[in-house]
Amino acid sequence: MEESRRERKKRQTRQLLVSTALRLFAQQGYDQTTVAQIAAAADVATKTFFNYFPTKEDVLFAQAEQYMELSADVVAAREPTDGLAEVLLKAYEQVIAHYLTVGPMAGDRELTKVYEQVLMTVPAVQARALHLLFDLQRELARQLLKAFPDKLDPISAAVVAGVFMGAVQSAGNAARELGQSSDEEITESMRRGVEIAMRGLRSF
Amino acid sequence: MEESRRERKKRQTRQLLVSTALRLFAQQGYDQTTVAQIAAAADVATKTFFNYFPTKEDVLFAQAEQYMELSADVVAAREPTDGLAEVLLKAYEQVIAHYLTVGPMAGDRELTKVYEQVLMTVPAVQARALHLLFDLQRELARQLLKAFPDKLDPISAAVVAGVFMGAVQSAGNAARELGQSSDEEITESMRRGVEIAMRGLRSF
DNA sequence: TGTAAATATATAGTCAGTGTAAGCTTCGTG
DNA sequence: CACGAAGCTTACACTGACTATATATTTACA
């Protein structure tokens, strides 16, 4: 079945809300922009905004579920010869590639800056981002446990996911704090983080 | 200089707000309890509550900064013979011990249950908790970098902290989800998490 | 005891987010 | 084509977190 008119309109409205919100955030700042303003600028009722996004923050994370599906796909489609480390690395590469090429930030330097600015300064947004990271981590653990039932148990699967995500996230964050702002620098730092997670902390 | 009257009163008011809030949360649930109610029950103005705690959630994390100081102390007071792994393990043991014996939850089964219930079900509180975890991680990275300037650089220090905290946090969480509710079971799972972080993910 | 700083207060607001009921659009079925 | 069900949007009213401001009170200290 193709996309029905209803579904199409819904997607359009959703997209309109996202782009309108980002535009206003860029113009006047996140905190200075009210949901009522976003709704008015998109010409819908305020309540409609909340029908699409449970909170104001969520409009910034509209594409986040895709990452979850993406990594799940990679884990599910693993080659029988692939070990746990290989699968993790592939999932990582996939998500990064998707982020850099397909996501709403892809290539748009201006938008990326707005995003980063908001993410670094607005506590509520930071909190929401961490929560998402956390969900992603839990989902990854589930997938890994299903893919490697002989090597993992529920606890170790969770730990593997937690270690991996912790490495990537902390590396990316540290890179940003050090002023590394280009995609290349940041992904390179993340790669180092992954390598450390693979080797283990005793290697220091 | 001892504690002045002003400081003493401040501490008392703060303590009163915390215990009053917890009592009300236990009685009527977190969402059902308003800040106005807490303030009224503690016989202060609503605004006063916000003078002590920036948000409603914060009243649940009154003791969190102590963990940061604690782990910083451990790292700072390391023996010259201690390697990075040993220092991390010691800091971990210290914080756990502190949590189990000194914290407001120590021994109070009832209060611990309220806490866990709130933490598992209220999104705003989860978000706040994650944010704290994140701060703690960053602080740990700073301390490690200072203690091991020859072995670490800013990126790798952040990664070490991120991997370590990620392991502990995900293990603890997975344990709770599996229904392990006793302190012993949970700390045992966390210990496994730490071991995995030390060994590295390639060991699977 | 007088004075400046810190703190608490009441008042009046802004804004995120919810509940509800009513109306409009779209969909499937006969 | 017709019609009823289901899904969305909307207006409206409301709760409650949080802030700004201006005022009063308490405390520290000379």
Answer yes or no: do A204 and B128 touch at CB < 8 A.
no
Tally: H helices and E strands in chain B: 9, 0
* pLDDT at residue B139 is higher than 60: yes
Reported pTM: 0.86
Sign of torsion, CA B189 B194 B195 B199? positive
B112 vs A197: which has the higher pLDDT: A197
* pLDDT at residue A105 is higher than 70: no
Query: Which residue's CA lies closest to nucleotide C19 at its C1' atom?
Result: A47
Answer yes or no: do B174 and A155 touch at CB < 8 A.
yes
Between CA B185 and CA B171 the distance in angstroms is 11
Domain A1-53 CATH assignment equals 1.10.10.60: yes
- Say whether the CB atom of A32 is under 7 angstroms from strand D: no
Q: Which of A127, A158, A170 minimises the CB distance to B174?
A: A158
Answer yes or no: do B166 and A163 touch at CB < 8 A.
yes
Of A60-74, A82-96, B143-157, B159-173, the range with the lowest mean pLDDT is A60-74
The CATH 1.10.10.60 portion of chain B extends over 1-53
* pLDDT at residue B38 is higher than 90: yes
Binding residues for strand C (Cβ < 7 Å): A 4-7, 9, 33-36, 46-47, 50, 54-57; B 6, 9-10, 13, 43-48, 51-52
Domain B63-201 CATH assignment equals 1.10.10.10: no
- Say whether the CB atom of A14 is under 7 angstroms from strand D: no
Average pLDDT on B157-163 reads 98
The CATH 1.10.357.10 portion of chain B extends over 63-201
Q: CA-based Rg of chain A, rounded to a whole angstrom? A: 19
B190 vs B122: which has the higher pLDDT: B190
Percent of chain A that is helix, strand, coil (3-state, to 5): 75, 0, 25
Between CA A166 and CA A116 the distance in angstroms is 19
List the B11 CA – C5 C1' distance (angstroms): 19
